[in-house]
Amino acid sequence: MEIKFKSFGAAREVTGSCHMLDCDGHKVLIDCGMFQGKRIPSEEKNRIFQFDPAEVESAILTHAHCDHSCRLPYLVMKGFRGNIYATPATRDIAGLIMADTAHIQQKDAEWLSKKKGATIFDPLFGIKDVLNCLNSFVTISYGRKFHISDSLGCTFYNAGHILGSSTLLLDCPGNIRIGFSGDLGRHGTPIIHDPEYLPPLDYFVCEATYGDKLHDPIEDACRQLADAIRETVNKGGKLIIPAFAVERTQDIIYYLHLLLDQRKIPKIEIFVDSPMAFNATSIFRVHQECYDEKVHEQFIVQNKNPFGFENLHYTTNVNESKKINEYKEPCIIISSSGMCEAGRILHHLRNNIEDPRNTILIVGYMAEDTLGRRLVEREPEVKIFGQPYKLRAKVKILNTFSAHADYKDIMDFVAHLDLERLKRVYLIHGEDDALEGMKTRLLGMGVKDVQVVEPMKEYIVTNSAS
């Protein structure tokens, strides 16, 4: 009996999550995400599977983020015929994210085809391929053990990262228990459950995205948001919030609802201007099983919708979106894309960036070479739709909203495992500094053995930890 494990992505990097567990010849893929970052190397990596998709018996999806899910349609196109196991909420959100990715790829290809000398990549998959892929999903709720093969069982535990996210408990042959984190979340985040601890394990494959960082406490998020709103309203300005359509937008709406109920912010109009955010919020509304007790107490028992209230408006068509520009009173505009690279947020920034009464509130990570990053760095002039604009609005950054565990959260998670039984922790999903930092910390707290997983290297796990 041999259990082998290999990472094809997100080993010594943070995107392209893709790991294979081979249990006595039964191959199971855990996540199949896209490589992101610089276009040409990522596009090339996305097109190649370093294994034969037809040989993979089943796949498990830990959560819907693109870097974990968005090569699944391509996997099916390349011959994968098995089941894709996920929680119901993960399936629904993944459907939305995969469809959006198909759309973005299509737009990118059209745009590049007009640019002289650009390397054009055909979209990896289209919307039909997404629908095909969704037909392969089998959904299982948290805590319900299911069998992938005669000898391999799996149970989803709540990862507390985004709606539907899970950590896997894998019951392997020979009584070997392996835990597998997709992305781990934080305690105290709004809406979704806190991360659930796993039972005693022999091996734990753990993400370490923030293995060398600490986040600001989540409890400060609501207060900082209220401060920014009051300050902007007092100046007679507008608050522009670029936010990812999934999770971050719903977190902000949820907090705004609480702040309004508690009369901590003035009653101003709030516009959520993003069709995808509207669709994502509809999925959040349906999956109440993923909410924590606090949401039930604050909203559900009183029959209140956490994502709907009197002065909150979702705009789904372009005309409604344009009308927001004509609104002259102080207001809040939440729009995507999160990094200000495309979408309706660009129109709102263009119309509001030169007015010093306004505030641009940054609530998410801004990668290098994005307009979002240029705003964070407060460049005096930025280009939007090719035109220069003076940055006169205030830029305020809130670092409290991360959905990822920091190193203290990961240490706390591991501390709740049985360290006597735990033979080894394998670290994935991190840059080198984060991985090495996490390794040192875990060894320091008494974990017997920690290995940073190398890409494409085969690891054999047994009961004797050889």
H or E element, residue 383: strand 381-384
H or E element, residue 371: helix 371-376
CA angle 26/146/70 to nearest 5° reads 70
Instruction: Tell me the per-residue interface mask from 54 to 93 with Zn ion, x by CB under 5 A, - otherwise.
Output: -----------x----------------------------
CA angle 109/114/115 to nearest 5° reads 95
Give yes or no for residue 207 binding Zn ion (CB under 5 A). Answer: no
Q: Is the peptide bond before 282 cis (omega within 30 degrees of 0)?
A: no
Amino acid identity, residue 33?
G
* Closer to Zn ion by Cβ: residue 65 or 193: 65
Amino acid identity, residue 171?
D
What is the sign of the dihedral through the CA atoms of 450, 452, 456 and 457? negative
Site for Zn ion in 157-186 (CB under 5 A): 183
What is the nearest approach in angstroms of Zn ion to the Cβ of residue 159? 9
E-strand ranges in 194-307 read 203-207, 239-242, 269-273
* Closer to Zn ion by Cβ: residue 299 or 413: 413
What is the nearest approach in angstroms of Zn ion to the Cβ of residue 336? 17
What is the nearest approach in angstroms of Zn ion to the Cβ of residue 230? 32
What is the nearest approach in angstroms of Zn ion to the Cβ of residue 61? 11
* Closer to Zn ion by Cβ: residue 65 or 344: 65
Tell me 320's DSSP state: H
Site for Zn ion in 392-431 (CB under 5 A): none
Asked if 102 and 127 touch (Cβ cutoff 8 Å), the reply is yes
What is the nearest approach in angstroms of Zn ion to the Cβ of residue 131? 23
* Closer to Zn ion by Cβ: residue 183 or 196: 183
Instruction: Tell me the per-residue interface mask from 134 to 153 with Zn ion, x by CB under 5 A, - otherwise.
Output: --------------------
What is the nearest approach in angstroms of Zn ion to the Cβ of residue 429? 9
Q: Quote the CA–CA distance of 377 and 371 in Å, as a whole number.
A: 10
Q: Quote the CA–CA distance of 329 and 449 in Å, as a whole number.
A: 59
What is the nearest approach in angstroms of Zn ion to the Cβ of residue 233? 33
* Closer to Zn ion by Cβ: residue 86 or 239: 86
* Closer to Zn ion by Cβ: residue 184 or 391: 184
Asked if 33 and 18 touch (Cβ cutoff 8 Å), the reply is yes
* Closer to Zn ion by Cβ: residue 183 or 409: 183
* Closer to Zn ion by Cβ: residue 185 or 237: 185
CA atoms within 13 A of residue 228's CA, in its CB half-sphere: 26
How many binding residues for Zn ion (CB under 5 A)? 2
Asked if 409 and 213 touch (Cβ cutoff 8 Å), the reply is no
What is the nearest approach in angstroms of Zn ion to the Cβ of residue 170? 19
Please, which residues bridge with residue 166 across strands?
Answer: 158
* Closer to Zn ion by Cβ: residue 65 or 215: 65
What is the nearest approach in angstroms of Zn ion to the Cβ of residue 13? 14
Q: Quote the CA–CA distance of 161 and 182 in Å, as a whole number.
A: 9
> Beta strand pairing status for 3-9 and 458-461?
antiparallel
Binding site for Zn ion (CB under 5 A): 65, 183
